[in-house]
Amino acid sequence: MRVHPGRDRRRRTRRGPRRGDKTGLGRGYGGEDRGGRYRRCTDKNRHHWGRRMTAPAPAVFDQVWRGLAKELRSHGLDVKFVEGWKSRGVGDFYPRAMTEHHTGSNRDSGNAPCLGLVTWGTADVGGPLCNILLARDGTIYFVAAGKANHAGIGGPFRGIPENSANTYAIGVEIENDGRGEPYPKRQIEANDILNAVLLERMKRTAYFAFGHKEWTDRKIDPTFDMAAFRKRVRALMKVLGLPQFRVTAKKVVAGKEKSIKVAKRLRKNGWAVTRTKK
């Protein structure tokens, strides 16, 4: 049987690297080079070379990330970028919440010792492992604009479906050992501002900022009080002049089944709705 030349070529490229390919990765199913973007990965994590990355949809990038660094800097924060962050991700991403984590790094290991780890991942879980890393001195690192492997199994919680927090929540990793290390004031302030600004961009209230330990019982991070954290973020959104997205539904009539369902759905998604009778 005669095989179409194009199909035969694609078959051959699946089996391994072509002659002269120094990356050892070969090429993808369509013949594209899968190693070029990841050649600067460290040898320690070279098992992830060739991992296919997915950038966020343009609408998501514009709403959440475009101009974010400038806005954060206007509030006095230091922002840095990990190379390739704009196109780094592992699937569809529709952020509408914030998930807080701590890295578990040794308190004497430096300012941002987990930066490489959260970017490239581990032998068990591929990177990115968060969207943003917050260093001990309050420096904010943009790691990935797309979906990150940070939350895992858990939920449902805060309107996010079961096991779907990676798709619907921005993951923030905070450098801390999780064993009693105090959070520096600068780091706390940076995290509060970061969450307030991002929640405003996603048109969400502080209710939608939660900890990994709230998403699943198998985790203890972060070690700070989440209720107090949300209270600070809520107050900060008012101080910074950020809208709270409160709405009064004056024409919602009690007794109409459809209207009541709409009001319940709005409340579930963080809106403050009041119903009035005719």
- Helix H, strand E, coil C: the string for 2-54 is CCCHHHHHHHHHHCCCCCCCCCCCCECCCCCECCHHHCCCCHHHHHHCCCCCC
Render 112-126 in DSSP notation, one character per residue: STTHHHHHHB-SSSB
3-state secondary structure of 183: coil
- Give the sign of the dihedral formed by CA 134, CA 138, CA 139, CA 140: positive
Other CB atoms within 10 A of residue 243 CB = 10
Q: Do 88 and 150 touch, CB atoms closer than 8 A?
A: no
pLDDT digits (tens, 9 = 90+) for 103-121: 999 999 999 999 999 999 9
Q: pTM value?
A: 0.72
User: What token pair was written down for 101?
Assistant: 């984590």
Task: Break the chain into its structural domains and give their ranges.
Answer: 5-48, 58-239, 246-278
Q: Do 128 and 148 touch, CB atoms closer than 8 A?
A: yes
pLDDT at 246: 46
pLDDT digits (tens, 9 = 90+) for 115-148: 999 999 999 999 999 999 999 999 999 999 999 9
- Domain with residues 58-239, CATH architecture: 3-Layer(aba) Sandwich (3.40)
More confident residue, 199 or 5: 199
